[in-house]
């Protein structure tokens, strides 16, 4: 049996707790702590009984740990870049209850949560978040650092841009594009393409 990977969760808010809980269901992963990069006074305390580290400590932990970014906003790239510059490698988390096509591709640092379904030839970018029960159709691409909220339903042959956000229960019809850094709100029904930087 291989040695479990020791996981650092980048983030210290409620979504970080959610991601740690998800990771605890995955064989070969042991959650070892959390990392903060904005509020130094949280360092030295604990979350879920595990230590909170300051970002600079990652350099010493990187040889023996992997990370995943658990910021629910699409601005997680800054945190990821900070940790990567300190040598941290990233885990890809796929909950055992997710159904992932054998032809799908999931990028480094991505999170595929409980009950998510990824169709044939779906592509999930680096550090993207596919939340609980999200559905991703065949031949659909989800960009780096994009977020799909719980229950989002993305049709086939869609292109969801980098750092975009598709809210809870939103529906994106087949063959549509959501531009990078754009937002589809909770419960939205998208029947037309969305340009870049649309809020």
Catalytic residues: 138
| Widest CA span in the chain | 50
Q: Which two tokens stand for residue 145?
A: 């650092």
Full strand arrangement of the beta sheet holding 159-160: 105-106, 123-124, 141-142, 159-160, 177-178
Give the 3-state secondary structure of residue 41.
Answer: helix
Q: Which two tokens stand for residue 129?
A: 């978040």
Is residue 177 within 8 Å of 161, Cβ to Cβ?
Answer: yes
Distance CA 148, CA 19 (A): 14
């Amino acid at each position: 049996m291989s040695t479990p990977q020791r996981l650092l969760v980048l983030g210290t808010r409620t979504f970080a707790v959610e991601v740690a809980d998800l990771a605890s269901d995955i064989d070969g992963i042991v959650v070892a702590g959390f990392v903060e990069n904005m509020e130094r006074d949280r360092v030295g305390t604990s979350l879920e009984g595990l230590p909170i580290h300051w970002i600079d400590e990652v350099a010493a932990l990187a040889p023996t740990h992997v990370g995943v970014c658990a910021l629910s906003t699409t601005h997680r790239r800054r945190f990821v870049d900070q940790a990567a510059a300190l040598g941290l490698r990233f885990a890809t988390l796929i909950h055992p209850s997710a159904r992932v096509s054998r032809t799908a591709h999931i990028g480094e640092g991505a999170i595929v949560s409980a009950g998510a379904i990824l169709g044939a030839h779906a592509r999930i970018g680096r550090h993207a978040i596919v939340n609980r029960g999200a559905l991703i159709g065949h031949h659909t691409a989800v960009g780096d650092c994009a977020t799909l909220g719980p229950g989002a339903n993305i049709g086939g042959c869609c292109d969801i841009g980098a750092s975009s956000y598709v809210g809870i229960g939103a529906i994106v019809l087949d063959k549509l594009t959501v531009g990078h850094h754009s937002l589809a709100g909770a419960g939205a029904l998208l029947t037309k393409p969305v340009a870049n930087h649309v809020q």
